[in-house]
Amino acid sequence: MRTDEPIMTLQAHILEQQAHYPEAVGTFSWILSALSISAKVIADKVRRARLENVLGAVGAENVQGEQQQKLDVIANEVLLRTLGRREGVAIVASEENEEPVIIRNDTQGERRYCVLFDPLDGSSNLDVCGGVGTIFSILRHDRRAARPQDSLLQPGSQQVAAGYVLYGPSTVFVLTIGQGVDMFVLDPAIGAFLRVERNIRIPAASKSYSLNEGNRPTFPEGYQRYLDWAQKSGYSARYAGAMVADVHRILLKGGVFMYPPTRKAPDGKLRLMYEANPMAMIVENAGGKALAAPGQRILDVRPEGIHQRTPLILGSPDEVDHVVARLAEAG
């Protein structure tokens, strides 16, 4: 944190942002404050997981057919309980729940929002004390939608805010509301997130790529060409196996993150609504690029289902361009 700037909490930052919108009545700010409380509770649970014996799988699979970790379930409940009580929330959708939770669907009254989240991304890292995160996306609730849940099916370009929380050596909250990207760190001594950086700009280039190279034999040819090119060009590989940790590194240091289509996951593994859209909004608002394929911006993808998956290429603009050039060569 710079010592020549006033100390600014996340709460104060949200109020400062709200002041730019004279018509705002604070509903949206309440939702962000619920997310900040959830982040503090989840950070505490993650830190105490080994002590309280809540590591490992619950033995059930989530809607995606993946093993649920005990902490996936706990983090999901924390978010549902915190957000479910907030006035301005119409619908909550979680990667861990098959159906969205409709909280309110009145046709009148104040403006309401939909909140989508991945409660604990990269949760298989928990057992080894690796970084994990929460990712969220906020959309305006569309009261005209035929069914309330159809209101969720908006392209990422319609998000009003997006962010993530990284539970690492410190707890970091990265938020974009419309334009800039700002970063906060939890000060455990006072229980508040403090602003440490404003208007983050992603480096335009950095010789670093991040993807699960174990899947290389079944990547489309363009990705193989890219890896050949990058390795000949002196690139480093960095992969935490938790998207929040990988994207956070790229936001600050540059590089490119990819989850390409594979034989096992022909549409890629990552979820459009809970992972790709919020991360794409953050990266674009920091000056980076986020694509599903050459010429296909993530934020323009029209969702057909809330759990749909997408390939993802995201990061420093020059580095994304290098990947796109190799994909285009391969046709």
Which residues here bind Mg ion, judged by CB under 5 A?
118, 121
Query: Taking the complex as a whole, how short is the minimal distance between the CB of residue 119 and Mg ion, in angstroms?
Result: 9
Contact between 243 and ligand AHM per CB under 6 A? yes
* Region binding ligand AHM by CB under 6 A among candidate stretches 157-165, 240-248, 282-290, 295-303: 240-248
Considering beta carbons, is residue 230 or 276 the nearer one to ligand AHM?
A: 276
**By CB under 6 A, residue 67 contacts ligand AHM:** no
Shortest gap between Cβ of 245 and ligand AHM (angstroms)? 8
Q: List the end-to-end C-alpha distance of the chain, in Å, as a whole number.
A: 46
Q: Which amino acid is at 297?
A: R
Determine the interface stretch with ligand AHM among 29-37, 105-113, 156-164, 238-246 (rule: CB under 6 A).
Answer: 238-246
Among 118, 182, 284, 319, binds ligand AHM (CB under 6 A): 118
- By CB under 6 A, is residue 242 in contact with ligand AHM? yes
Decide if residue 269 touches ligand AHM (CB under 6 A). yes
Structure-token pair, residue 156: 């990422």
Q: Tell me which stretch binds ligand AHM (CB under 6 A): 9-17, 118-126, 165-173, 298-306.
A: 118-126
Sequence-distant (≥ 6) Cβ neighbours of residue 108 within 8 angstroms: none
Interface pick for ligand AHM out of 26, 241, 303, 317 (rule CB under 6 A): 241
Residue 122 binds ligand AHM, judged by CB under 6 A? yes
The answer to whether residue 212 forms part of the interface with ligand AHM (CB under 6 A) is yes
Cα dihedral: 65, 38, 100, 271 (round 10): -50
Q: Which listed range, 173-181, 241-249, 276-284, 300-308, lies at the site for ligand AHM (CB under 6 A)?
A: 241-249
The tokens describing 241, both together, are 């196996």
Which does residue 281 touch among ligand AHM, Mg ion, none (CB within 5 to 8 A, set by kind)? none
Residue 66 binding ligand AHM, by CB under 6 A: yes
The order of strands in the sheet holding 101-102 is 101-102, 89-94, 113-121, 132-140, 161-167, 171-176, 181-187, 192-197
How far is Cα 163 from Cα 290, in angstroms, rounded to an integer? 15
The Cα 130–Cα 244 span in angstroms is: 11
Residue 55 CB, shortest distance to ligand AHM, in Å, is 15
Query: Interface with ligand AHM includes 121 (CB under 6 A)?
Result: yes
Residues touching ligand AHM, count (CB under 6 A): 10
Residue labelled with tokens 């969220």: 136
Find out whether 162 and 176 touch, Cβ atoms under 8 Å.
Answer: yes
Binding site for ligand AHM (CB under 6 A): 66, 118, 121-123, 212, 241-243, 269
